[in-house]
Structure 1
Amino acid sequence: MAKSKKPAASTTPSSPSAAPAWLHDGLPLPRLIVLDLDYTLWPFYSDIHIAPPIRPVPNAHPPTLADRNGEHFALYPDAPHILRLLSSLPPARLRLAVASKSPVGDLCRDVLKQLRLPPPLGDAGGGADKGVKRAIDAFDAGLEIYEGSKIRHFEVLAKRTGIPYGQMLFFDDERPNLEVESLGVTMRLVRDGLTWEELEKGIEQWRVNQGVA
Protein backbone atom coordinates (compact mmCIF):
# COMPACT_ATOMS: atom_id res chain seq x y z
CA MET A 1 0.00 0.00 0.00
CA ALA A 2 1.36 3.41 -0.95
CA LYS A 3 2.17 5.77 1.88
CA SER A 4 0.31 9.05 2.14
CA LYS A 5 2.00 12.31 2.95
CA LYS A 6 2.14 12.76 6.70
CA PRO A 7 1.11 16.15 8.07
CA ALA A 8 3.88 18.50 9.05
CA ALA A 9 4.70 18.54 12.74
CA SER A 10 3.01 21.36 14.60
CA THR A 11 5.58 21.49 17.40
CA THR A 12 9.09 22.85 17.48
CA PRO A 13 11.69 20.21 16.52
CA SER A 14 13.19 18.64 19.60
CA SER A 15 16.80 18.53 20.69
CA PRO A 16 18.35 16.93 23.77
CA SER A 17 19.10 19.19 26.73
CA ALA A 18 22.65 17.80 26.77
CA ALA A 19 24.90 15.96 24.37
CA PRO A 20 23.68 12.38 23.77
CA ALA A 21 25.53 9.81 25.89
CA TRP A 22 26.77 7.89 22.85
CA LEU A 23 28.70 10.96 21.71
CA HIS A 24 31.14 10.96 24.64
CA ASP A 25 30.97 7.43 26.10
CA GLY A 26 34.38 6.41 24.76
CA LEU A 27 33.00 3.82 22.35
CA PRO A 28 33.55 4.13 18.60
CA LEU A 29 31.10 5.68 16.17
CA PRO A 30 30.56 4.66 12.54
CA ARG A 31 32.72 6.65 10.17
CA LEU A 32 29.84 7.18 7.75
CA ILE A 33 26.12 7.57 8.49
CA VAL A 34 23.93 7.29 5.39
CA LEU A 35 20.31 8.40 5.23
CA ASP A 36 17.45 7.56 2.93
CA LEU A 37 15.17 10.52 2.11
CA ASP A 38 11.49 9.59 1.60
CA TYR A 39 9.89 8.55 4.92
CA THR A 40 13.29 8.55 6.61
CA LEU A 41 14.50 12.16 6.53
CA TRP A 42 11.13 13.62 5.50
CA PRO A 43 7.50 12.36 5.70
CA PHE A 44 6.54 12.30 2.01
CA TYR A 45 7.42 10.87 -1.39
CA SER A 46 9.48 13.43 -3.25
CA ASP A 47 8.25 12.27 -6.66
CA ILE A 48 4.54 12.07 -5.75
CA HIS A 49 3.65 14.68 -3.16
CA ILE A 50 5.62 17.75 -4.28
CA ALA A 51 4.48 19.92 -7.20
CA PRO A 52 7.47 22.16 -8.01
CA PRO A 53 8.55 24.87 -7.95
CA ILE A 54 9.12 25.09 -4.21
CA ARG A 55 9.86 28.09 -2.01
CA PRO A 56 10.56 28.70 1.69
CA VAL A 57 7.62 29.63 3.89
CA PRO A 58 8.57 32.94 5.58
CA ASN A 59 9.11 32.79 9.36
CA ALA A 60 8.10 29.12 9.54
CA HIS A 61 9.33 27.15 12.57
CA PRO A 62 10.53 24.54 11.85
CA PRO A 63 11.79 25.61 8.40
CA THR A 64 9.14 24.66 5.86
CA LEU A 65 8.76 24.74 2.09
CA ALA A 66 5.62 25.26 0.01
CA ASP A 67 5.02 23.93 -3.50
CA ARG A 68 2.94 25.49 -6.28
CA ASN A 69 -0.24 24.01 -4.78
CA GLY A 70 0.42 25.55 -1.38
CA GLU A 71 1.25 22.20 0.25
CA HIS A 72 3.83 22.43 3.03
CA PHE A 73 6.89 20.21 3.42
CA ALA A 74 9.47 19.87 6.20
CA LEU A 75 11.87 17.35 7.67
CA TYR A 76 10.80 14.99 10.44
CA PRO A 77 10.86 16.99 13.72
CA ASP A 78 14.12 15.61 15.14
CA ALA A 79 15.95 15.44 11.82
CA PRO A 80 17.21 19.07 11.56
CA HIS A 81 18.84 18.90 14.99
CA ILE A 82 20.30 15.46 14.30
CA LEU A 83 21.83 16.63 11.03
CA ARG A 84 23.23 19.75 12.70
CA LEU A 85 24.82 17.78 15.52
CA LEU A 86 26.29 15.06 13.34
CA SER A 87 27.62 17.55 10.80
CA SER A 88 29.38 19.46 13.59
CA LEU A 89 31.64 16.46 14.23
CA PRO A 90 35.08 16.54 12.60
CA PRO A 91 34.99 14.73 9.23
CA ALA A 92 37.78 12.45 10.42
CA ARG A 93 35.38 11.18 13.07
CA LEU A 94 32.09 10.96 11.17
CA ARG A 95 30.71 11.89 7.76
CA LEU A 96 27.17 11.98 6.32
CA ALA A 97 25.73 10.86 2.99
CA VAL A 98 22.39 10.23 1.26
CA ALA A 99 21.31 7.04 -0.52
CA SER A 100 17.88 7.40 -2.11
CA LYS A 101 15.99 5.68 -4.92
CA SER A 102 13.97 8.80 -5.68
CA PRO A 103 13.67 9.41 -9.44
CA VAL A 104 13.63 13.18 -8.92
CA GLY A 105 17.16 13.82 -7.75
CA ASP A 106 17.24 17.46 -8.80
CA LEU A 107 14.08 18.19 -6.82
CA CYS A 108 15.46 16.40 -3.75
CA ARG A 109 18.63 18.48 -3.98
CA ASP A 110 16.52 21.62 -4.25
CA VAL A 111 14.60 20.65 -1.10
CA LEU A 112 17.85 20.08 0.77
CA LYS A 113 19.30 23.36 -0.47
CA GLN A 114 16.29 25.41 0.63
CA LEU A 115 15.74 23.84 4.06
CA ARG A 116 17.85 25.39 6.81
CA LEU A 117 19.26 23.70 9.91
CA PRO A 118 19.26 25.14 13.44
CA PRO A 119 22.44 26.17 15.27
CA PRO A 120 24.27 23.23 16.89
CA LEU A 121 23.72 22.25 20.50
CA GLY A 122 26.49 24.26 22.13
CA ASP A 123 29.76 22.52 21.44
CA ALA A 124 28.31 19.05 21.96
CA GLY A 125 29.91 17.70 18.82
CA GLY A 126 33.37 18.96 19.67
CA GLY A 127 33.49 20.98 16.45
CA ALA A 128 33.28 24.63 15.56
CA ASP A 129 29.92 26.38 15.36
CA LYS A 130 29.56 27.03 11.66
CA GLY A 131 26.28 28.87 12.09
CA VAL A 132 22.96 28.13 10.42
CA LYS A 133 23.48 26.09 7.29
CA ARG A 134 21.54 24.44 4.50
CA ALA A 135 20.48 20.83 5.00
CA ILE A 136 22.42 19.82 1.89
CA ASP A 137 25.66 21.10 3.44
CA ALA A 138 25.47 18.43 6.14
CA PHE A 139 26.15 15.66 3.63
CA ASP A 140 29.88 16.05 3.12
CA ALA A 141 30.24 12.49 1.76
CA GLY A 142 27.82 13.10 -1.09
CA LEU A 143 24.32 12.47 -2.38
CA GLU A 144 23.46 9.28 -4.27
CA ILE A 145 19.90 9.90 -5.50
CA TYR A 146 18.73 7.70 -8.38
CA GLU A 147 16.65 4.59 -9.01
CA GLY A 148 18.17 1.15 -8.62
CA SER A 149 19.54 -1.12 -5.91
CA LYS A 150 20.86 0.50 -2.77
CA ILE A 151 23.85 -1.78 -3.17
CA ARG A 152 24.91 0.38 -6.12
CA HIS A 153 24.56 3.51 -3.98
CA PHE A 154 26.88 2.05 -1.35
CA GLU A 155 29.42 0.81 -3.86
CA VAL A 156 29.73 4.39 -5.13
CA LEU A 157 29.97 5.79 -1.60
CA ALA A 158 32.66 3.29 -0.63
CA LYS A 159 34.70 4.10 -3.74
CA ARG A 160 34.38 7.86 -3.22
CA THR A 161 35.12 7.96 0.52
CA GLY A 162 37.40 4.98 0.98
CA ILE A 163 35.38 4.06 4.07
CA PRO A 164 34.88 0.28 4.55
CA TYR A 165 31.30 -1.02 4.51
CA GLY A 166 31.68 -2.23 8.09
CA GLN A 167 32.18 1.39 9.18
CA MET A 168 28.86 2.49 7.64
CA LEU A 169 25.47 2.87 9.35
CA PHE A 170 22.37 3.25 7.16
CA PHE A 171 18.87 4.45 8.12
CA ASP A 172 16.02 3.46 5.77
CA ASP A 173 12.29 2.74 6.03
CA GLU A 174 12.04 -0.07 3.45
CA ARG A 175 12.80 -3.67 4.46
CA PRO A 176 14.06 -4.80 1.01
CA ASN A 177 16.95 -2.38 1.37
CA LEU A 178 18.36 -4.60 4.11
CA GLU A 179 20.15 -6.18 1.15
CA VAL A 180 22.99 -3.72 1.82
CA GLU A 181 23.89 -5.77 4.88
CA SER A 182 25.30 -8.36 2.45
CA LEU A 183 28.09 -5.81 1.90
CA GLY A 184 28.77 -5.48 5.62
CA VAL A 185 26.76 -2.26 6.11
CA THR A 186 24.66 -2.00 9.27
CA MET A 187 21.10 -0.90 8.45
CA ARG A 188 18.58 0.41 10.97
CA LEU A 189 15.02 -0.09 9.70
CA VAL A 190 13.02 2.94 10.86
CA ARG A 191 9.24 3.09 11.23
CA ASP A 192 8.38 6.77 11.65
CA GLY A 193 11.40 8.63 10.34
CA LEU A 194 14.73 9.60 11.84
CA THR A 195 14.45 10.37 15.56
CA TRP A 196 16.91 10.68 18.42
CA GLU A 197 15.74 7.26 19.65
CA GLU A 198 16.25 5.64 16.24
CA LEU A 199 19.68 7.24 15.96
CA GLU A 200 20.73 5.86 19.35
CA LYS A 201 19.38 2.40 18.52
CA GLY A 202 21.15 2.45 15.18
CA ILE A 203 24.47 3.32 16.80
CA GLU A 204 23.93 0.57 19.39
CA GLN A 205 23.14 -1.90 16.59
CA TRP A 206 26.29 -0.90 14.71
CA ARG A 207 28.40 -1.30 17.85
CA VAL A 208 26.98 -4.77 18.48
CA ASN A 209 27.82 -5.74 14.91
CA GLN A 210 31.37 -4.47 15.49
CA GLY A 211 31.65 -6.37 18.77
CA VAL A 212 32.27 -3.23 20.82
CA ALA A 213 28.93 -2.71 22.61
Structure 2
Amino acid sequence: MARSRVKTRGTATTASHSSSSRSRSIANPNPLAREWRHIPKLVVFDLDFTLWLPEMYELDGAPFRKDPSTGAVTDRAGEQVRFFPAVDSVLSVLELDEQFRDATEVAVASRTTEPHWAKTCMRLLDVELTHVDGSNSRKTSLQSVVDYEAIYPRNKRAHFAQLKEESGVEYADMLFFDNEYGNIRDISALGVV
Protein backbone atom coordinates (compact mmCIF):
# COMPACT_ATOMS: atom_id res chain seq x y z
CA MET A 1 0.00 0.00 0.00
CA ALA A 2 1.54 3.32 -1.05
CA ARG A 3 1.52 6.28 1.30
CA SER A 4 0.28 9.61 -0.01
CA ARG A 5 3.47 11.53 0.80
CA VAL A 6 5.25 12.52 -2.39
CA LYS A 7 9.01 12.64 -2.68
CA THR A 8 10.94 13.67 -5.74
CA ARG A 9 13.09 10.76 -6.78
CA GLY A 10 16.71 11.64 -7.30
CA THR A 11 19.36 9.76 -9.14
CA ALA A 12 22.25 7.90 -7.61
CA THR A 13 24.70 10.42 -6.27
CA THR A 14 28.43 10.47 -5.81
CA ALA A 15 29.32 12.76 -2.94
CA SER A 16 32.13 15.26 -3.04
CA HIS A 17 34.39 15.43 -0.04
CA SER A 18 34.93 19.04 0.97
CA SER A 19 36.71 19.67 4.23
CA SER A 20 33.78 21.65 5.65
CA SER A 21 31.35 18.79 5.10
CA ARG A 22 33.82 16.31 6.56
CA SER A 23 34.18 18.36 9.74
CA ARG A 24 30.39 18.65 9.96
CA SER A 25 30.06 14.88 9.75
CA ILE A 26 32.82 14.20 12.27
CA ALA A 27 31.25 16.53 14.83
CA ASN A 28 27.82 15.10 14.17
CA PRO A 29 26.16 13.25 17.05
CA ASN A 30 24.54 10.74 14.66
CA PRO A 31 27.21 8.26 13.49
CA LEU A 32 25.11 7.50 10.39
CA ALA A 33 25.35 11.10 9.22
CA ARG A 34 28.07 11.17 6.62
CA GLU A 35 28.44 11.63 2.90
CA TRP A 36 27.18 8.61 1.01
CA ARG A 37 28.61 7.57 -2.36
CA HIS A 38 25.41 5.93 -3.58
CA ILE A 39 21.91 6.95 -2.58
CA PRO A 40 19.32 4.15 -2.94
CA LYS A 41 15.92 5.12 -4.28
CA LEU A 42 14.10 2.66 -2.02
CA VAL A 43 15.23 1.29 1.35
CA VAL A 44 13.24 -1.78 2.41
CA PHE A 45 13.11 -3.12 5.97
CA ASP A 46 11.74 -6.36 7.34
CA LEU A 47 9.77 -5.74 10.55
CA ASP A 48 10.08 -8.71 12.94
CA PHE A 49 13.51 -8.83 14.57
CA THR A 50 14.86 -6.24 12.11
CA LEU A 51 13.08 -3.06 13.20
CA TRP A 52 11.32 -4.34 16.30
CA LEU A 53 11.00 -7.17 18.77
CA PRO A 54 9.45 -9.49 19.72
CA GLU A 55 8.20 -11.06 16.51
CA MET A 56 4.45 -10.81 15.95
CA TYR A 57 3.90 -14.57 16.37
CA GLU A 58 5.40 -14.36 19.87
CA LEU A 59 2.74 -11.91 21.05
CA ASP A 60 -0.67 -12.59 22.58
CA GLY A 61 -2.34 -10.27 20.10
CA ALA A 62 -4.84 -7.46 20.05
CA PRO A 63 -5.90 -5.21 21.42
CA PHE A 64 -2.61 -3.30 21.34
CA ARG A 65 -2.37 -0.30 23.62
CA LYS A 66 -0.14 2.74 23.69
CA ASP A 67 0.60 4.26 27.08
CA PRO A 68 -0.10 8.00 26.68
CA SER A 69 2.64 9.05 29.10
CA THR A 70 5.48 6.73 28.04
CA GLY A 71 4.53 5.85 24.46
CA ALA A 72 5.08 2.15 25.22
CA VAL A 73 3.07 -0.18 22.99
CA THR A 74 1.88 -3.45 24.54
CA ASP A 75 -0.24 -6.42 23.47
CA ARG A 76 -3.27 -7.69 25.41
CA ALA A 77 -1.00 -9.54 27.89
CA GLY A 78 1.21 -6.50 28.52
CA GLU A 79 4.17 -7.66 26.36
CA GLN A 80 5.94 -4.58 25.00
CA VAL A 81 6.73 -4.16 21.30
CA ARG A 82 9.85 -2.01 20.95
CA PHE A 83 12.32 -0.84 18.34
CA PHE A 84 15.94 -1.91 18.25
CA PRO A 85 18.17 0.94 19.49
CA ALA A 86 19.44 2.17 16.08
CA VAL A 87 16.01 2.43 14.41
CA ASP A 88 15.44 6.09 15.36
CA SER A 89 18.88 7.09 14.04
CA VAL A 90 18.55 5.18 10.77
CA LEU A 91 15.07 6.51 10.02
CA SER A 92 16.14 10.03 11.03
CA VAL A 93 18.89 9.97 8.41
CA LEU A 94 16.54 8.65 5.73
CA GLU A 95 13.83 11.20 6.55
CA LEU A 96 15.84 14.31 7.40
CA ASP A 97 19.35 14.16 5.91
CA GLU A 98 19.42 16.28 2.75
CA GLN A 99 21.14 13.47 0.84
CA PHE A 100 18.16 11.13 1.34
CA ARG A 101 15.18 13.36 2.13
CA ASP A 102 14.01 13.94 -1.46
CA ALA A 103 15.77 11.01 -3.13
CA THR A 104 14.92 7.95 -1.04
CA GLU A 105 11.64 6.31 -0.13
CA VAL A 106 11.10 3.79 2.68
CA ALA A 107 9.25 0.47 2.50
CA VAL A 108 8.56 -2.50 4.74
CA ALA A 109 8.34 -6.11 3.57
CA SER A 110 7.17 -8.61 6.16
CA ARG A 111 6.08 -12.25 5.92
CA THR A 112 4.34 -12.09 9.29
CA THR A 113 1.32 -14.32 9.77
CA GLU A 114 -0.28 -11.44 11.70
CA PRO A 115 -0.35 -8.53 9.21
CA HIS A 116 -3.14 -6.68 11.05
CA TRP A 117 -1.11 -6.71 14.28
CA ALA A 118 1.98 -5.46 12.42
CA LYS A 119 0.04 -2.61 10.81
CA THR A 120 -1.46 -1.66 14.18
CA CYS A 121 2.01 -1.59 15.75
CA MET A 122 3.31 0.54 12.86
CA ARG A 123 0.54 3.04 13.58
CA LEU A 124 1.14 3.07 17.35
CA LEU A 125 4.95 2.93 17.62
CA ASP A 126 6.69 6.31 17.68
CA VAL A 127 9.94 6.99 15.86
CA GLU A 128 11.95 9.89 17.24
CA LEU A 129 13.28 11.79 14.24
CA THR A 130 16.24 14.04 15.02
CA HIS A 131 18.16 16.20 12.57
CA VAL A 132 21.73 15.07 12.00
CA ASP A 133 23.04 18.01 14.05
CA GLY A 134 20.96 16.83 17.02
CA SER A 135 18.37 19.61 16.78
CA ASN A 136 14.62 19.67 16.26
CA SER A 137 13.61 16.26 17.50
CA ARG A 138 10.02 15.19 16.82
CA LYS A 139 8.04 12.00 17.23
CA THR A 140 5.94 10.43 14.52
CA SER A 141 4.55 6.98 13.87
CA LEU A 142 6.51 4.36 11.96
CA GLN A 143 3.56 4.21 9.57
CA SER A 144 4.02 7.89 8.70
CA VAL A 145 7.63 7.41 7.52
CA VAL A 146 6.88 4.32 5.42
CA ASP A 147 5.98 5.00 1.79
CA TYR A 148 5.12 1.41 0.78
CA GLU A 149 3.95 -1.67 2.70
CA ALA A 150 4.07 -5.33 1.68
CA ILE A 151 2.89 -7.16 4.80
CA TYR A 152 1.47 -10.65 4.29
CA PRO A 153 2.66 -14.26 4.72
CA ARG A 154 4.26 -14.93 1.33
CA ASN A 155 7.76 -15.22 -0.09
CA LYS A 156 9.76 -11.98 -0.06
CA ARG A 157 9.94 -12.16 -3.87
CA ALA A 158 6.19 -11.45 -3.94
CA HIS A 159 6.74 -8.48 -1.63
CA PHE A 160 9.50 -7.08 -3.83
CA ALA A 161 7.49 -7.54 -7.03
CA GLN A 162 4.71 -5.50 -5.38
CA LEU A 163 7.15 -2.83 -4.15
CA LYS A 164 8.78 -2.54 -7.58
CA GLU A 165 5.39 -2.15 -9.25
CA GLU A 166 4.07 0.40 -6.75
CA SER A 167 7.25 2.47 -6.46
CA GLY A 168 8.58 2.23 -10.01
CA VAL A 169 12.04 1.64 -8.54
CA GLU A 170 14.25 -0.99 -10.19
CA TYR A 171 15.68 -3.73 -7.98
CA ALA A 172 19.24 -2.43 -8.50
CA ASP A 173 18.21 0.85 -6.83
CA MET A 174 16.83 -0.86 -3.70
CA LEU A 175 18.59 -1.54 -0.40
CA PHE A 176 17.20 -4.34 1.81
CA PHE A 177 17.61 -5.08 5.53
CA ASP A 178 16.45 -8.38 7.05
CA ASN A 179 17.60 -10.57 9.92
CA GLU A 180 17.09 -13.81 7.95
CA TYR A 181 19.89 -14.82 5.59
CA GLY A 182 17.54 -16.87 3.37
CA ASN A 183 15.47 -13.77 2.61
CA ILE A 184 18.57 -11.74 1.82
CA ARG A 185 19.92 -14.48 -0.47
CA ASP A 186 16.61 -14.78 -2.36
CA ILE A 187 16.22 -11.05 -2.84
CA SER A 188 19.85 -10.36 -3.74
CA ALA A 189 19.36 -12.76 -6.69
CA LEU A 190 16.93 -10.15 -8.07
CA GLY A 191 19.68 -7.51 -8.01
CA VAL A 192 18.68 -5.86 -4.73
CA VAL A 193 21.57 -4.87 -2.48
TM-score normalized with structure 1 length: 0.68
Displaced runs of 4 or more, over 6 A = none
Q: Percent identity?
A: 28
Q: Where in structure 2 are there 5+ consecutive unaligned residues?
A: 1-26
Asked whether the equivalents of residues 30 and 169 of structure 1 are also in contact (C-alpha less than 8 Å), the reply is yes
Asked whether the equivalents of residues 80 and 135 of structure 1 are also in contact (C-alpha less than 8 Å), the reply is no
The counterpart of 2:155, out of the listed 127, 149, 161, is 149
- Pairwise CA distance, 1:130: 9.0
| Distance in 2 (alpha carbons) for counterparts of 1:51 and 1:26 | 40
Aligned match of 1:69: 77
Q: Residues 29, 168 of structure 1: CA spacing in aligned structure 2 closer, same or farther, 3 A cutoff?
A: same
1:188-203 equivalence runs, <5 A? none
User: What amino acid maps onto 2:87 in structure 1?
Assistant: A
| Distance in 1 (alpha carbons) for counterparts of 2:69 and 2:74 | 12
The counterpart of 1:85, out of the listed 93, 107, 117, is 93
Aligned match of 1:179: 186
Q: What secondary structure, in the 3-state scheme, does the structure 1 residue paired with 2:150 have?
A: strand
The counterpart of 1:115, out of the listed 125, 128, 141, is 125
User: What amino acid maps onto 2:169 in structure 1?
Assistant: I
Aligned match of 1:6: none
Q: Where in structure 1 are there 5+ consecutive unaligned residues?
A: 1-15, 187-213
Asked whether the equivalents of residues 81 and 117 of structure 1 are also in contact (C-alpha less than 8 Å), the reply is no
Q: Aligned Cα RMSD in Å?
A: 2.4
- Pairwise CA distance, 1:181: 1.0
| Distance in 1 (alpha carbons) for counterparts of 2:30 and 2:88 | 15
1:1-40 equivalence runs, <5 A? 17-20=28-31, 23-25=33-35, 27-40=37-50
Structure richer in strand, relative to its length = 2
Q: Residues 76, 30 of structure 1: CA spacing in aligned structure 2 closer, same or farther, 3 A cutoff?
A: same
| Distance in 2 (alpha carbons) for counterparts of 1:174 and 1:122 | 30
- Pairwise CA distance, 1:17: 4.7
